[in-house]
Amino acid sequence: MYSYFLFLLILIPFMGLSAWASMKVNSTYAKYDGVPNSSRMTGYDTAVRLLRKGGVREISVNRVKGSLTDHYDPTKRQVNLSESTYGSASVAAVAVAAHEVGHVMQKQSGYLPYRVRTILVPAVNIGSRLAIPLVLLGIILDLCLGISTASGALSAGQWLMYIGIALYSLSTIFMLVTLPVEFNASHRAKRMLEEEGILTSDELRGASKVLSAAAMTYVASMMISLVYFLRFLLIVLSFTRRRN
């Protein structure tokens, strides 16, 4: 009971940070979505221009439903811009479009954290489905068959529990690797917008605020993921200690 209270005590501030970050990104985007950029370029225009400037011609720029649902899909070679970004000529729309092109440029240049994150995607997808079932199966086996051999080696049940923990940790590692990927994409976006003269210096400050607010959502998500992983790990370790 005490450990669960401590878990909540640690988790709640990060949940608050996540909620604040979400509100911040929405309010900041809304503020600068009402500020037209001086070049009158839309999110679509910006993405196409930056891609062509970077020598990338095999990537299409598409419109997708929703607001702030912008993303780069490397498997389909698509930069997908949300309805709030695609046709808008605001400072916010241009910033978001440039950020997604930043991910394209990361792939083109072989940016290491981006490559690591791409490699982790299939493992994370599998791990998120198998982690908890493996831990539960390990607990059942451990209760039914015993925890260790005469030599003190791990039992089959304990092996399954620790494999489940390792798979669960992949999502936290993925979130950790995501941070430099997102920060770097924003850095690339601001540099490209400045070099191409798409935004003025004043407009760039607004774009920077939009991108910084979005980055905070990734920081909050990573911290929450880490807290849940540590809680999960401590539960398993506590169980095995009691069994021992």
Catalogue the active-site residues: 100
Strands (E), the chain: 60-64, 71-73, 78-82
Cα 17 from Cα 212, distance rounded (Å):
14
Q: Give counts: helices (H), strands (E), the chain.
A: 7, 3
Measuring CA to CA, how many Å separate 64 from each of 4, 67, 106, 152, 227? 41, 9, 22, 56, 33
Burial of 244 (0-12, 13-18, 19+ CB in 10 A): exposed
